[in-house]
Amino acid sequence: MKNSKGKGAAGLLILLAALVGFVYLAYLTISQNKVKLGLDLAGGVSITYQTVDPNPSDQDMRDTIYKLQQRVGSYSDEAQVYQEGTNRINIDIPGVSDANTILEELGKPGSLQFIEPDGTVILTGDQVKSAQAGQMQDRTTGVNEFVVELSFSDEGTQKFAEATTRLVGQRIAIVYDGIMYSNPTVREPITGGQCTIDGMADYQEAELLASTIRIGALKLELEEMRSNVVGAQLGQRAISTSLQAGAVAIAAIAALMIAIFWIPGLAAALALALYVCLTICLISAFDITMTLPGIAGIILSIGMAVDANVIIFTRIREEIGLGKTVRSAVKTGFRKALSAIVDGNITTLIAAAVLFIMGSGTIKGFATTLGLGVIVSMFSALLITRAWLYTFCDLGLDQKKLFGQIKERKVIDFIGRRKAFFGIAIAVIAAGFIAMGVFAGSTGSPLNLGLDFKGGTSTNVEFNEDMSLETIDEKVRPLVAAVTGDNDIQTSKVQGTNEVIIKTRSLSVDERQALNQSLVDSFGINQEKITAENISGTISGEMRRDAIIAVVVALFLMLIYITFRFADFRFASAAILCLVHDVLVLLTFYAVFRWSVGSTFVACMLTLVGYSINDTIVVFDRIRENQRLVAGKTREEIANKSVTETFSRSILTSVTTFVAILILFVMGVSSIREFTLPLMVGTVCGTYSSVAIATSLWYVMEKRADARKAEAKAAEKASEKSAKPQKSQKGQKASR
């Protein structure tokens, strides 16, 4: 016993030292502003380019914006590129404050040409599809060298093939804005539409040439019009209240866990504190830009961290209820919980990885924070929580009364109520489609598309005084909302000036005049110092396409993984159909209540998918286990037993996640509330579908599969019977 307590004391000191150390590191990270914040939280640089051609085509503008989005992604995943007026393009890059440095690094987008020795232009920049820095092994020497990999359009491929066939042994100069950046020698005809440029001293040189080619490979030639450093869109109050709300939410979750699970809850609270601190440190270390969608990823990963602990503790209580000692129950509880935790987190990681690789902008930012959070949450639950529990046991806190126990529960007939569950789901989803149809007819849009999707009007106002962000939030935004009748408003302040940029939905001429007059009457502004331009959405058609493709690919890979892990395609099919149900239900709320659909809409949907799939996997994991362990039970009985056994865990996880989001909703500013309200609906919806819809879908699929097998077997028997030769009447008489 003494040795055990000594071991426990040593473990306690180590764990407390680690916790204090990470708390201190997290404090330094926050106090020294080492976490990079996005435009919505901290502002950044805004650059406006104007096309040299005064009347560019819409298609050329879209192509140029898309390529610029790819280019500025190297500065931040949260960078925004959008059209202003007919021939201007705005680039907003968060987390930086030196516009001149960015302009020098970004360069002035201009004309890119590939020129042969006599000065003839072979290709122009718009015929270059991509340019990437990379490494390849020299086939002769075997040495790795740095290269730039190029690919061309169909037209560019044809022209480059003809030129390189003629110019073997000669050079082709790559010229950008009159300056030659590279002059490689043609070694052989290049006919496949791809080539490499070698001879780079290091990766930085290769990346510089690649980025120069990318920025020059634009449909249009651009010239800088203006550049500004802009303040946060949400203001300092939004940041401070969000941090306060986050701290209160974490404290509330910790108190809730302790109140429900006692000693295990205390272990979870301590592990959660380490999880939060470690996440903050890693966000800073990996230079991740934090925005509202990024916060959504963190909220989801906190929910999953809590969920993992709830799964473990529920298992421990079940083992204690079976008569095991606490130490044995802890060991068995972690072992039995492992598969559900790993499967749930891996499916979420698959989605995060695909969204990061294939997504762009806020999608990539969401995926980054989600993936990081999931990895840290698994580490926290499976290692840190376990270490705390064993330490408490070594210290003598291993009495059953300190851990609690779960005895056999009365099974709830969820499967018997499946028709009611399906009916509710169909009714809610149908209401959403009806609402979208009605609004499409009356307003021309089934959903209330916000600035990020459909663009709007940007109004630049030069006030008579330096307006603080809080004053803008408290006085300017309400005035604009009253005139426009819409709360989807983005404001930012140009640092060093009295200028404020107000972005709203598209305003008519009368509405613009009304807004101008209200600003003049309320603030005494000179009306000549108010200008307005139409702007495009920051989420372009290409970005929407990329996001949809990424989600489809993620769902497909999740389908494969679940099928592989559960050895049953019907588990995977039910899980994916459950996700579709969740998305459509949340879409119903967006349609019926006309919530603004912007970049946070995408984050909310993705958060719901990640939350719901994790919840569903836990239920399916218990069904898989019970199929092996419970003998003599029908499939319906196994399904009901499994959902009943995981029901309390589903509710507890939902409550803790809901409480965290609710606190953000209550304490946050208006923009935070608009973001957290759909998350609360999504949390309830995800829990409901995992309990009521997912298992019922699986059961129906299995039942139909059984029916098909029975029909096939009956048909086979009938076929065998008809094929068997019959004895003749004569033969029958002879036998008698």
Range(s) within the chain of domains with CATH label 3.30.70.3400? 41-105
Other C-beta atoms lying within 10 Å of the C-beta of residue 730: 8
Q: What is the pLDDT of residue 731?
A: 45
Confidence of residue 596 (pLDDT cuts 50, 70, 90): confident
* The domain made up of 41-105 is a member of CATH 3.30.70.3400: yes
Q: Pick the more confident residue, 57 or 728.
A: 57
pLDDT, mean over the chain: 85
Average pLDDT over residues 182-190: 93
Q: Identify the pLDDT of residue 103.
A: 61
Mean pLDDT of 147-157: 92
Is the pLDDT assigned to residue 1 strictly greater than 60?
no
* Portions of the chain given CATH number 3.30.1360.200: 112-217
For CATH 1.20.1640.10, list the domain ranges present in the chain.
Answer: 2-37+235-402, 415-429+540-707
Is residue 163 within 8 A of residue 116, CB to CB? The reply is yes
Does position 192 have pLDDT exceeding 50, yes or no? Answer: yes
Using 50, 70 and 90 to split pLDDT, how confident is the model at 521?
Answer: very high
Comparing CA positions, the residue from 223, 240, 222 lying closest to residue 232 is 240
CATH (residue range 456-535): 3.30.70.600
Query: Which of 2-11, 623-632, 644-653 is predicted with the least confidence, judged by mean pLDDT?
Result: 2-11
Which amino acid is present at 101? T
Q: pLDDT-derived band of residue 733, with 50, 70 and 90 as boundaries?
A: very low
Between 184 and 723, residue with greater pLDDT: 184
Q: How confident is the model at residue 729 (pLDDT cuts 50, 70, 90)?
A: very low
Q: Residue 735: pLDDT band by 50, 70, 90 thresholds?
A: very low
Question: What was the pLDDT predicted at 108?
Answer: 56
Q: What is the pLDDT of residues 224-280, one digit of tens each?
A: 777 777 766 665 566 677 777 778 888 888 999 999 999 999 999 999 999 989 988
Smallest CA-to-CA distance from 307 within 347, 275, 255, 344 is with 344
Upper half-sphere CA count for residue 651 (Cβ side, 13 Å): 7
Q: What is the pLDDT of residue 576?
A: 93
How much is the pLDDT for 734?
A: 39
Task: Tell whether domain 112-217 is in CATH 3.30.1360.200.
Answer: yes
Half-sphere exposure of 439 (CA within 13 A, CB side): 18
Q: Which residues contact 85 (CB under 8 A, 6 or more apart)?
A: 533, 534, 535
CATH number of 415-429+540-707: 1.20.1640.10
pLDDT tens figures, 452-510: 788 889 899 999 988 877 788 788 888 998 888 877 788 888 877 888 989 888 888 89
Highest mean pLDDT: which range of 39-48, 115-124, 489-498, 709-718: 115-124
296-312 mean pLDDT: 78
Query: What topology does CATH give the domain 2-37+235-402?
Result: Multidrug efflux transporter AcrB transmembrane fold (1.20.1640)
Q: Which of 128-132, 212-216, 716-720 has the lowest mean pLDDT?
A: 212-216
pLDDT band at 542 (very low <50, low <70, confident <90, very high): low
Angle between helices 236-261 and 670-688 (to 10 degrees): 30
| For the ranges 239-248, 357-366, 424-433, 593-602, the one whose mean pLDDT is highest | 424-433
What is the spatial distance between Cα 221 and Cα 216, in angstroms, rounded to a whole number?
A: 8
Confidence (pLDDT) at 657: 84
